[in-house]
Amino acid sequence: MSPHASPHLRALGAALPAGLRRFHADAERRTVSGQARVTTGGVFGRVLLRLLGLHVRDGKQPLDVTFMPDGSGTIWDRCFGTGRFISRIEAGGSGFLIETFGPVTLRFWLAPDGEAISWGLQRAAVFGLVLPSFLAPHIAAREWLAADKAYAMSVVVSLPLLGLILQYEGELYLPQFSEPD
Q: Each residue's pLDDT tens digit in the chain (181 positions)?
A: 566 688 999 999 999 998 898 888 777 889 999 999 999 998 888 898 888 888 888 999 999 999 999 888 999 999 998 788 999 999 998 999 999 998 999 999 999 999 999 999 999 999 999 999 999 999 999 999 987 789 999 999 999 988 999 999 999 997 764 444 4
What per-residue confidence (pLDDT) applies to 130?
98
Is residue 1 a part of any domain in this protein? no
Is residue 143 a part of any domain in this protein? yes
Domain holding 60, by residue range, is 7-173
Is residue 163 a part of any domain in this protein? yes
What per-residue confidence (pLDDT) applies to 181?
41
Is residue 88 a part of any domain in this protein? yes
Is residue 2 a part of any domain in this protein? no
Is residue 71 a part of any domain in this protein? yes
Is residue 159 a part of any domain in this protein? yes
What per-residue confidence (pLDDT) applies to 176?
63
- β-strands 138-145, 96-101: how paired? unpaired
| CATH code: domain of residue 82 | 2.40.128.20
Number of domains in the chain: 1
- Classify each residue of 1-36 as buried b or exposed e, where b means 16 or more C-beta atoms within 10 Å of its C-beta: eeeebbbbbbbbeeebbebbbebbebbeeeebebbb
Is residue 92 a part of any domain in this protein? yes
What per-residue confidence (pLDDT) applies to 54?
83
Task: Compute the residue count for the chain.
Answer: 181
